[in-house]
Structure 1
Amino acid sequence: MASKTLQRLMDVAPRGLPLDPQVLRDCGISPQQTTYLVNAGWLQRLSKGAYLLAGDSPTRDGILAYLSRRIPGLHVGGRTALDWQGVRHNVSFRGRVVLWAERTYVMPDWLGEHMSYTLQTTRLFDDRLPADTGLSSVPNRDLSLLVSEPERALLELASDIGKCRAKGQSLEEAMNIAASLRNLRPEVLDTLLTHCTRVKVVKLVRDLGEASGFPWGQDLQRHVDRLGPGRRWSSSRKDRPRFTLKA
């Protein structure tokens, strides 16, 4: 019986995917059977509610699929989302995954051993915008994992400018990335900016758009004016140069 249960699990569970209790139940494995498989050495317990086939190691995509089942609103965003869709500038950053979610989440200790990441929970939009706007799956990855489309990723990229070094994004690199975003959809960007509540983000997207010279970057001042004409925005951090955004 145990061998049949284990074989069923190996047939269904992708390699590198941490298994939570729901996945195990979907495979027909009860909590009692899970305990038996752990004690018998066929499953390894990573942490409470996280298991892995013995001899297996968590992969980046497996970890992200596991987290997407547990963290509300989790998606890959910002620079990582753009990188996954072919827009990149500094390849040295590609090992760190930028994650966004609706609220903070205490990551298990084992996760950091297998994936470098940041988790961002800044609220960018008002309640009138559906939470999944500008999010979709990408080819050749787990369909349960959502990724920001380029227009939303640009706003998330702008949000990270000027933050602490661990989560920060340089303005210079953001401008270089924006210069590669030739095919942004103006109507999608307009919808996102219409519902964005962050003055800094709207101003930065305006400035990045103007610097890019692309059609999507034209006529964005109206979004700044909606949030308050004449308001300057300034940032100063010990580990970052001071910068000020025009009104």
Structure 2
Amino acid sequence: MVHGRKINSSKISLLMQDYPKGLVLLSAWLVSQGYSHELLLQYRRSGWLRSIGKGAMLKSGDPLILSGALAALQSQAHIGIHLGGRSALQQHGAAHYLQLAASDVSLFAPGGTKLPQWFTNNQWDIPPVVFKSTLFDNDQIGLTDYQDAGIEMQISGPGRALLECLSLCPDEFPLVEGYELMEGLATLRPDSVQGLLESCKSIKAKRLFLYFAQKAGHSWFKYIDTSRIELGTGNRSLVKGGALVPEYKLVLPEELA
């Protein structure tokens, strides 16, 4: 019994020290790391861990922070959800001049993604808004590593994040803001942009991205091979009574045309 307590003491010390504050710990994942169900139950009864829903725990005293939940979904549950859109651009410093309020965070997941109840039922420090859409042929394209107070996760890189924003235009994202964000993306890599546009499934988002890049005069735009990008046919009207942009077959507000 003494030997068992020493082992348990060593394992709880590792658990307390190795994982950052606020990281959600999933029972199934901890079991795969060598913590038995019985041991986890003992930790909860002893007050080391607290349950935040079926199969999910926090170290006692840790707050409910969205980054800790998102990291657990990605790295422990292997669910394809990430911080994207305007929220990702804000983290990259590309949207700060717009004075965006951090009243909520935009998360993106492929269509049909099922999120666990421990995630949807808890009140996180920042409320998440989840958009479910299979926007890219390659779900992983354009994601980048990010760290928040020791919690590691993946978020959209700037190019992908803007395409996510533009896919929501005009009903859930303002067209004018989409262009203003594009103005700040002067240093995108052409090869990265090319890959994103070839993988993106939204004709609307791709047309807007290309037109806004051309209008902003970015130097990388001339390296994009539009012949390899599926841009569809026919006009896309995004506003009533707007002006037609013939090259991209977009009907936009006159101030953007």
Q: For 1:188-239, what per-residue CA distance to the aligned partner results, in whole angstroms no more than 9, with x for missing partners?
A: 212222232322111211222133121234587946984334x111347xxx
**Corresponding residue for residue 235 of structure 2:** 232
**Corresponding residue for residue 12 of structure 2:** 6
**Amino acid in the other structure paired with 2:80:** G
Of 63, 71, 75, 1:65 maps to 71
**Alpha-carbon distance between aligned partners in 1 of 2:87 and 2:72, rounded to the nearest angstrom:** 18
**Corresponding residue for residue 207 of structure 1:** 211
Aligned-pair identity (%): 28
Question: How many residues of Structure 1 are paired with residues of Structure 2 in the alignment?
Answer: 235
Alignment of 1:84-233 (within 5 A): 84-88=91-95, 89-103=97-111, 104-107=113-116, 108-126=119-137, 130-138=138-146, 145-163=153-171, 168-218=172-222, 222=226, 226-229=230-233, 231-233=234-236
**Alpha-carbon distance between aligned partners in 2 of 1:201 and 1:169, rounded to the nearest angstrom:** 12
Equivalent residue of 2:124, what SS? helix
Structure 1 unmatched runs, 5+ = none
Q: For 1:163-211, what per-residue CA distance to the aligned partner results, in whole angstroms no more than 9, with x for missing partners?
A: 3xxxx22112111111111101122212222232322111211222133
Contact 1:199-1:233 within 8 A present in 2 as well: no
TM-score when normalising by structure 2: 0.77
**Corresponding residue for residue 252 of structure 2:** none
Most deviating of 47-56 and 2-11:
2-11
**Alpha-carbon distance between aligned partners in 2 of 1:200 and 1:3, rounded to the nearest angstrom:** 57
**Alpha-carbon distance between aligned partners in 2 of 1:244 and 1:105, rounded to the nearest angstrom:** 40
**Alpha-carbon distance between aligned partners in 1 of 2:229 and 2:82, rounded to the nearest angstrom:** 30
Equivalent residue of 1:92, what SS? coil
Deviation at 1:143, TM superposition (A): 7.7
Equivalent residue of 2:209, what SS? helix
**Alpha-carbon distance between aligned partners in 1 of 2:83 and 2:243, rounded to the nearest angstrom:** 28
**Amino acid in the other structure paired with 1:53:** K
Structure 2 unmatched runs, 5+ = 250-257
CA pair 82-28 structure 1, distance change in 2 beyond 3 A:
same
Of 42, 45, 49, 2:51 maps to 45
**Alpha-carbon distance between aligned partners in 1 of 2:244 and 2:134, rounded to the nearest angstrom:** 20
Contact 2:203-2:230 within 8 A present in 1 as well: no
Contact 1:71-1:105 within 8 A present in 2 as well: no
Contact 2:24-2:69 within 8 A present in 1 as well: yes
**Alpha-carbon distance between aligned partners in 2 of 1:202 and 1:224, rounded to the nearest angstrom:** 12
